[in-house]
Structure 1
Amino acid sequence: MTDLAPHLSAWLLEYLPRDRRASRHTIGSYAHCFQLLVGFAAQRLKVRPSGLQIEQLDAELILDFLDDLETVRANTPRTRNARLTAIKSFFRYLEYRAPTCLDVAMQVQAIPSKRIEQPLVDYLTRIELQALLDAPDRRSVLGLRDRAMLHLAYACGLRVSELTGLRLEDIGHPDLDTIHVFGKGRRERVLPLWKETQAVLRGWLNVRPDVEERTVFLNARGTAMTRHGFANRLAVHIKTASQPVPSLANKRVTPHVLRHTCAVHTLEATGDVRRVALWLGHASVTSTEIYLRIDPTEKLDILDARSAPTIKKGSFTGATDRVLATLAAANAV
């Protein structure tokens, strides 16, 4: 039997950050997954978490854990698949470092991901977006900060981690005309800013507290804004913006919806999905094709490129069906 604890610690604290150069968000997500798994396994096997053995985490227990995520914790299939990805990553690591666990590793690797639906992405109309951008109180420091965050998140199509991780040195000074973004997969991109976005960003930087923290956006305590902090501020402003634009109240607006909104509006303006992929920092255009499904202008172009088939008017002349023949005879009487 092989102790789980030392291998799990080495994977999270050494292999992922040092050898794989995984981001802190990835490591945090994987750590949370195993926090749930270890708790589930310890309760199921009635042992202390520190006493768990790798061989005890077989495919049957992993499948029960994944089912528990959906039934008890009400996780979506997408979240279930993300947890399974983390588990498979750990067992791939074990294949070369714990040969005695090769059999259980192969069993876990064979667990399939659950097929998920591909719904249309949510986004805001231009009227809804404008109401949201106008919601923060520009007479207060926090309002200027929130206004700058919202404008920057939409204008650049930033992920929430990219927005909260933006540092002062990533902004093009002195004109504030560009930002340097470190994106998912360690991909970098430089994005120009509209003059309007420059103006609201400058408004925040003029009142930003002079603290040692180098991230652009700070919370009320003067430390870096977190993902959850931005999500909470967004929810507050959505509530405010719902008063002049009631349709916002019926939408679930998350920080990522602002990124979707940027993508949809960019596609409408350019008609080029490759430009959208470049702007969002996608590694492949395949990731960007989801926006084609919700852009009606693309579908209208498809209709215009073809001619509709002609429809010939139907006729019952010469019909031999017995029911039609009976009806024809009755009509002649």
Structure 2
Amino acid sequence: MFAADRLKVKPSALTLEQIDAGLVSAFLEHLEDERKNAAVTRNVRLPAIKSFFRFLEYRQPAALEQIRCVLAIPFKKTDTRLVPYLLREELQAVLDAPDPATRDGIRDRAMLHVAVCAGLRVSELTGLKVDDIDLPSMSIRVLGKGRRERTLPLWKPAAAALRAWLAIRGQVATPEVFVNARGEPLSRWGFAYLLRQHAATVARKQPGLARKRVSPHVLRHYLPRPTMSGSFSFAHNSKGLCDNM
């Protein structure tokens, strides 16, 4: 749409020769200046364009110089932001927020405990299946990025919360562990929404939470250590994996 508007031609009339480095650079500037996209978003768009031109370089030898110029367009430098973090009291409050007297509360408590203990990505959590749980040893099998499989142990609080949910989950058609009221798999957006709701609930008691964005990504950057009382103590872990029991 940008190229068609800038060159005053229909999209179907665009030719490869017209999509040169100057046009691509103008599009990237348009993203920042007109659409108010951040530099990070600009840098996400550029690899897609470069990928297309790498595809072309084996099929359009006559355009190699044009392709070379597009591939030479640099990425824009951006600031690296630290992952937000929660204090021990704040994270413990979020884990305790779901009501254990309700079905949804039992499910949410199990999800939060498993997410934090195992350092799961939200897709790994929502994709966890009943067959991935080893009840005798209370460990879970996770299929992560690149279809890499790993087995993770659960500590007592997480294991207890998961057992409580499995006891009332009932027989549903879907194999995923965590389901909604209709028996359908809970989506990643559904989990993020529930997490925000619980964080907002406890923000009244933990004022610091009101100034923080509590997301699934924040949860997986903690290494929980169970205490004798069954509560958690936490230390920051860049990998988010539990490897101590």
TM (norm. structure 1) is 0.62
| AA at the equivalent of 1:201 | L
The 2-side partners of 1:262 and 1:218 are apart by 26
The 1-side partners of 2:26 and 2:60 are apart by 24
Q: Secondary structure at the match of 1:70?
A: helix
Whether the 8 Å contact between 2:116 and 2:222 is mirrored in structure 1 is yes
1:243-274: per-residue Cα shift (whole Å, max 9, x none)? 111110011122111112349x99948xxx7x
Distance apart, 1:52 and its partner CA = 4.5
Cα distance 1:119–1:45, how it changes in 2: closer, same or farther (>3 A)? same
Give the number of the structure whose alpha-carbon radius of gyration is greater: 1
What is residue 177 of structure 2 aligned with on the other side? Answer: 216
Match of 1:252 among 213, 217, 232: 213
1:188-238: per-residue Cα shift (whole Å, max 9, x none)? 322111111111112222222533222222234432222222211111111
| Identity fraction in percent | 53
Cα distance 1:41–1:155, how it changes in 2: closer, same or farther (>3 A)? farther
Whether the 8 Å contact between 2:115 and 2:125 is mirrored in structure 1 is yes
What is residue 309 of structure 1 aligned with on the other side? Answer: none
Gaps of 5+ in 1: 1-38, 282-333
Distance apart, 1:56 and its partner CA = 3.6
Q: Secondary structure at the match of 2:86?
A: coil
The 1-side partners of 2:183 and 2:52 are apart by 37
How do residues 17-28 of structure 1 correspond to structure 2 at under 5 angstroms? Answer: none
| AA at the equivalent of 2:113 | H
Match of 2:102 among 128, 132, 140: 140
| AA at the equivalent of 2:221 | H
Distance apart, 1:151 and its partner CA = 1.2
Q: Secondary structure at the match of 2:221?
A: helix
Root mean square deviation, CA, Å: 3.0
The 1-side partners of 2:175 and 2:10 are apart by 42
1:169 aligns with 2:138: no
Distance apart, 1:125 and its partner CA = 1.0
1:64 aligns with 2:26: yes
Whether the 8 Å contact between 1:158 and 1:280 is mirrored in structure 2 is no
1:232 aligns with 2:199: no
What is residue 310 of structure 1 aligned with on the other side? Answer: none
Q: Secondary structure at the match of 1:279?
A: coil
Cα distance 1:46–1:246, how it changes in 2: closer, same or farther (>3 A)? same
What is residue 296 of structure 1 aligned with on the other side? Answer: none
- Report 1 or 2 for greater relative contact order, CA contacts < 8 Å, sequence distance ≥ 6: 2
| AA at the equivalent of 2:128 | L
1:275-300: per-residue Cα shift (whole Å, max 9, x none)? x648389xxxxxxxxxxxxxxxxxxx
Cα distance 1:68–1:77, how it changes in 2: closer, same or farther (>3 A)? same
Equivalent pairs counted in the alignment come to 237
